[in-house]
Amino acid sequence: MDDRMNINWYPGHMKKTKEALQKNLKLIDVVVELLDSRIPFSSKNPDVDRIIKDKPKVVVLNKSDMADPSKIKIWQDYYESRGIKAIPVNTISGKGVDKIIQECREAMREKMEALVKKGRKERAIRLMIVGVPNVGKSTLINKLAKRKSTQTGDRPGVTKGNQWVKLKGDLELLDTPGILWPRFEDENVAMNLAFTRAIKDEILDIETLALRFIEKLEDIYPDNLKERYKLEELGQTPLETMEMIGVKRGCLMARKEIDYTRVAKIVLNEFRDGKTGKMTLEVPSDFEK
């Protein structure tokens, strides 16, 4: 296995999406930034803050049911110290979704009160949800709209085009496809996105990816690894741990050689399905200089 990773993924439609976001921003009152609770930093597009500038923003930490509750609290405190509400949400079950609407209305409360004082009628609050691919944007929109309004899929790049969606509580939402940046300047960011399937597996060496994932878990969640794969101890190296998992799961070929590809798929998919336990792979201090 080659332990080097070279990820440089920037489909042309994402450049157009970024341009469309800048163009449509003048129509929007509040930006809802959707992040993955397991990788809140890595799933954040650094262009978003530069594009929206001083526009009101609400941060949504999606997939909170799969994340480490103690680390979600760390991220909430981090955003609160910067004057931004961060709301843990599970878009599949809908837990926390109503709180998003409340926070968007709160962000616009003073502006709407000013309209009424001028004798004008309150209008619909216009939202935009932004997020990288596969972070759950379409599922969130469907929950907010209480109906199936957008095409969804568990693979990056399924959502296409822009559309307005009416929400309850006199809100309107402009749906935009997910956006991702052109270069992964931090390899840890690229890895975390790949671990969570924000980047298609087809463009990566899945065996190396799983090896790097095991290495990360040995450092931050060793007990989860041992418990999930029934290991009394971890290996001396990530590769040895990977081989031990292969033996436990019967991923053997002729002459009892390890089927590394099969092991890799098991390890990554079980994490992505939440079977390895509630885990958050990064905290703010990992990235603060």
* The pLDDT of residue 162: 59
Instruction: Give the residue-averaged pLDDT of 150-174.
Output: 64
Domain 12-175 identical in fold to domain 205-286: no
**pLDDT over threshold 60, residue 77:** yes
Residue 130's H or E segment, with its range, is: strand 125-130
Q: Where are the domains of the chain?
A: 12-175, 205-286
> Is pLDDT of 92 > 60?
yes
Q: Average of pLDDT values for 84-91?
A: 94
**Predicted confidence band of residue 24 (pLDDT cuts 50, 70, 90):** confident
Q: List the alpha helices (DSSP H) in the chain.
A: 12-24, 47-52, 69-80, 97-107, 109-117, 137-145, 187-195, 206-220, 222-228, 238-248, 260-272
CATH of 205-286, one of 1.10.260.40, 3.40.640.10, 1.10.1580.10, 1.20.140.10: 1.10.1580.10
Q: Sorting pLDDT into bands at 50, 70 and 90, what band is 196?
A: very high
Q: What is the mean pLDDT of the chain?
A: 85
Q: Tokens standing for 42?
A: 């890595």
Residue 159 confidence (pLDDT): 45
Mean pLDDT within 173-188? 70
pLDDT category at 50 given cuts 50, 70, 90 is: confident
Residue 3 to residues 37, 101, 172, 185, 217: CA-CA distances in angstroms?
27, 44, 47, 18, 17
Instruction: Give residue 151's pLDDT band: very low, low, confident or very high (50, 70, 90).
Output: very low
Each residue's pLDDT tens digit, 98-125:
999 999 999 888 888 888 888 888 788 9
Fold assignment, 12-175: Rossmann fold (3.40.50)
> Are 7 and 184 contacting, i.e. CB atoms less than 8 angstroms apart?
yes
Name the 3-class secondary structure at 150. Answer: coil
- Quick check: helix, strand or coil at residue 8? coil
Please answer whether residues 160 and 177 qualify as being in contact, where contact means their C-beta atoms are separated by less than 8 angstroms: yes
